[in-house]
Amino acid sequence: MHLPVVLNLLQASLSSFTGLLDFDPSANVSPYDLDRLATLSPYHDRAHVPGVAAELPSDCTVDQVVLLHRHGSRGPEWEDKYIQKLVETLDNSSQAIGRAHLPQNLRFLKDGYKSDLVPHELTIVGRRQLFDHGADFALQYPTLSTDVVLSSPVQRVVDSSRYFGHGFFGGDVDTVEFVTVDELDVPVNWITPWKSCSKYSEAKGHAAASAWASKHLGVDLSDDDIRGALFACPYDLAAHNESPWCAAFHNHELRSLEYEYDLLMDRISGLMSNNDPGPVLGSVYVNKLIERFTNATSDAKELYLEFGHDTSILLVLSAMALNKDATPLPVDHIRVHRKFHTSEQAPFAARMVWEKFSCKKSFHGPQIRLLLNSATYPLTTCQKSFKDKEFGSCSLKEFISVNRFNLNIHYGDETWNATCVD
């Protein structure tokens, strides 16, 4: 890792970098790798799973759709302090940088580096992602509609729902009611269920991920400037679709950053924490999904448009064991082949689409399919036939059967309280 050398020397106000930073540019990041930044990845479609059909049989019709959409690209959260510290260090070392002999991928420092990132807020890139997704969704499901859009109350999520709405509804958007989960009369909602779980905390995830990064990223992450440079890469992308910092790191270093975030998210929304909060909290959504698909309340809509966070999506996958690895992710090395892979499951503007469909001949009875980021995500836990495997789907009956654990969890019961109540 060469970037720490630069920043350490900058801090020491040394006057020359000649000969310290000569390395092979081909070892640096490629455009493909910029889709591998975990939950900070720009939106990208997932690759289709080999052997799984991309389209349903021609005799099948989608009857009901439930969308759970993550907000679009945003500014940094807790990472912002590290980016601002980096900017301060570079400002204080501008004279040394001006005299330095830098490799091609760091020469942008001679012009200075400023950050215009706005913490927490939806970026211009994020706005466009949601508008485009709304228009795409209208083309994909032209016969389905709704008059209500539901979201988390966080402003970037509310904004995302409205940009999607403009793309989906067009000139009719003013006739649509935009509602947040805070307005629902329920003890726990299915988009942000952790808000009703007093024992739920993200702190354990951050601590565990930081321990991994300090040991394995090849840099001393107690150095705030190095952290700032790492975080500037994905957040510049989120705001501007480009970042000079991404080329400052080798592929394996960005892979390590991705793994750091995967460990973090697996501990706060997956299957690696005490009492498995992922499945318990995700069960709220699974219950709501089955209620809608079975029309248990006799008022099910043909289309649901709902907006939340990366955790909202990951909790659902955890509850259904669809991203569960056979053994927990190790902290002493990167497991390359893993099911819990947030770059593919929950990038910015991720979209989880549940379809209930029926067919004249291909299948008997109502069927369920999951599209995650535009590609079929096989429902491996409930597939019973070769046809199921071919299309990644399963029958509604089997879907309900394999989710008995989720259906037996209710807010305030013994299982919920063991996980959520202090």
What pLDDT, in 10s, does the model give residues 176-210?
999 999 999 999 999 999 999 988 866 544 544 45
Which CATH number is 3-7+30-51+59-420's, of 3.90.79.10, 3.40.50.150, 3.40.430.10, 3.40.50.1240? 3.40.50.1240
Task: Name the percent of the chain lying above pLDDT 70.
Answer: 86
pLDDT of residue 23 exceeding 50: no
Name all contacts of 161-165 with Cβ < 8 Å and 24+ positions apart: 161/69, 161/130, 161/305, 161/307, 163/72, 163/122, 163/127, 163/130, 163/131, 163/134, 164/69, 164/130, 164/131, 164/133, 164/134, 164/137, 164/305, 164/307, 165/134, 165/305
Q: Has 71 been annotated as catalytic?
A: yes
Q: Has 116 been annotated as catalytic?
A: no
**331 — pLDDT class (breaks 50, 70, 90):** confident
Q: Where are the domains of the chain?
A: 3-7+30-51+59-420
Give me the pLDDT at residue 407, please: 94
The model's pTM? 0.90
User: How many helices (H) and strands (E) would you count in the chain?
Assistant: 15, 8
Catalytic: which of 33, 44, 69, 71? 71
Catalytic: which of 236, 266, 310, 388? 310
